Chain A
Amino acid sequence: MIKVSIKDRQGQVHEVEAPTDMNFNMMEICKANELPVKGTCGGTASCASCHMYVLSDTALPNASEDEEDMLDSAFFVEDNSRLGCQVYLANHMDGLEVELAPEDESADY
């Protein structure tokens, strides 16, 4: 179990616990905690609805070509942009901090 913090689009920070033995990704953790992340494609890096910024300097595997391609459909992409569904949680990621990226304002969750 590790702790991660998620800043929502209103700036509120949510500290949540996340197991590392179930191959969870950050999209799933957000949804499990009822944070407004859509995850339309079910975590296959085929939509851009779980776009988030990584705020901490946690070491993460680089984004794949598929993930980079899909980030083209995200808004306000920065160097620290990731698709949450491609960030799989591991023990060394304790203290990971992310911020949900701006979404289509009329998006449903």
Chain B
Amino acid sequence: MIETDILIIGAGPVGLFTVFEAGLIKLRCHLIDSLGQPGGQLTEIYPKKPIYDIPGYPKILAGDLVDNLMEQIAPFDPGFTLGERADSVEKDNYGKWIVTTNKGTQHKASVIAIAGGLGVFEPRKPPLAGLEHFEDKGIDYIVKEPEKFRGKNVVLAGGGDSALDWSIELSEIANRVTLVHRREQFRAALDSVEKAFDLANTGKMDIFTNAQVTGLGGNGKLNSVTITNKAKEQRDLDTDYFIPLFGLSPKLGPLASWGLGLQGNAIKVNPLDYSTNVDGIYAIGDINDYPGKLKLILCGFHEATLMVQSAFKRIYPDRHLSFKYTTVNGVNSF
């Protein structure tokens, strides 16, 4: 069991900065994130894009901001549970929270700070009729065990690295691999694209460009997909598996059933300290909502700063919290 003072759910910029502000008042933090690396959508979606509204930085790349935050919080030695999704929450007999991830890792903390951004990143699912019906019955969104596809017919859709890389790898073990992509250009690495077309030219793979998967067929289990080309010509292709690879998109996920007051897909908070309707659970950053809310990183930093003050009073109701400026002795004295 991992124990900490503030358990932060979401290791995006706001979750990371919470560690700093908590550290200044000697509260320890541990972060959980479903992604394999810290930074949230800044790292996952737009690491090379500049951000212009971080105070003091006329322009900073999203990935650099995350690197800087990691450096800034390093003195406070936060713990990380990465690549795991916070699934359930319960209270123990002493009033502490126990949060368990989808992989069974347990965390104990006095206070939970949800800094979950737009939610948990999950594969984007194409809106095809009957899709959910065929999930795990021929449709997979990630390739966990390539062996499963040995000797099978597999259709993949997408134009990025994962679509190309998996098509190439599966072409060695599957009976037939078909890659379907909406245009002739691929955004994947050039050598992967060349390799895929070599395989196609030698008859070891089929590549349909200017085409998209528009339908699914089967009874209980997937047995065909419908492919439509730009000229609107359709053809049905027999297949055992369909793997759509359209990237990731954030979803609120399991947090929606934690008993928190919601406003749409955001968690309602008291703007005095960003507390939720559940005592001891706070929500900060893009995931919360209150009158006048703006979904900006800088607002999330402010929310984190005020939130940890409230968390301190909750954890140590009898202690006096004196505010200290970092300008006096730097962060090492905290």
Q: Which residues of A does B touch, CB under 8 Å? A: 38, 40-42, 44, 46-49, 68-69, 71-77, 79, 102-109
Contact = CB atoms under 8 A, between A and B. Distances in A.
B193 to A, nearest CB: 13
Given A46-B45, A46-B49, A47-B45, A40 B249 contact: yes
Given A68-B185, A69-B159, A75-B126, 15 more contacts: A41-B41, A41-B46, A46-B45, A46-B46, A47-B249, A72-B158, A72-B182, A72-B186, A75-B212, A76-B127, A79-B230, A104-B249, A105-B127, A106-B251, A107-B251
Interface in B232-262: 246-247, 249-252
Nearest to B186: A72
A8 to B, nearest CB: 14
A97 B170 CA distance: 43
B15 interface: no
A18 to B, nearest CB: 21
B96 interface: no
Given A49-B249, A108-B119, A109-B264, A73 B124 contact: yes
A108 to B, nearest CB: 4
A76 B249 contact: no
A104 B127 contact: yes
Contacts of B212: 75-77
Given A69-B187, A104-B124, A108-B119, A40 B182 contact: no
B45 A103 contact: no
Interface in B110-163: 118-119, 124-127, 131, 158-160
Contacts of B102: none
Contacts of A103: 127
Nearest to B265: A108
Contact of B214 (A74, A76, A109): A76
B183 interface: yes
Contacts of B126: 75, 104
A55 to B, nearest CB: 18
Contacts of A40: 41, 45, 118, 249-250
Given A40-B41, A41-B41, A104-B249, A75 B127 contact: yes
A47 B45 CA distance: 7
The 10 closest A-B pairs by CB, nearest first: A72-B159, A69-B187, A46-B46, A108-B265, A73-B247, A102-B127, A44-B49, A75-B126, A77-B182, A73-B246
B108 interface: no
B299 to A, nearest CB: 13
B45 A108 contact: no
B181 interface: yes
A104 B123 CA distance: 10
Nearest to B214: A76
Contact of A48 (B186, B214, B247, B264): B247
Interface in B300-333: none
Residue among A69, A73, A102, A109 with the highest chain B CB neighbour number at 10 A: A73
A53 to B, nearest CB: 14
A74 B246 CA distance: 7
Contacts of A44: 46, 49
A47 B247 contact: yes
A74 B185 CA distance: 15
A105 B247 CA distance: 15
Contacts of A74: 246
Interface in B39-97: 41, 45-46, 49
Nearest to A34: B264
A2 to B, nearest CB: 26
28 contacts: A40-B41, A40-B45, A41-B41, A41-B46, A41-B49, A44-B49, A46-B45, A48-B124, A68-B185, A69-B187, A72-B158, A72-B160, A72-B181, A74-B246, A75-B124, A75-B126, A77-B182, A77-B212, A104-B124, A104-B127, A104-B249, A106-B251, A107-B251, A108-B118, A108-B119, A108-B252, A109-B264, A109-B265
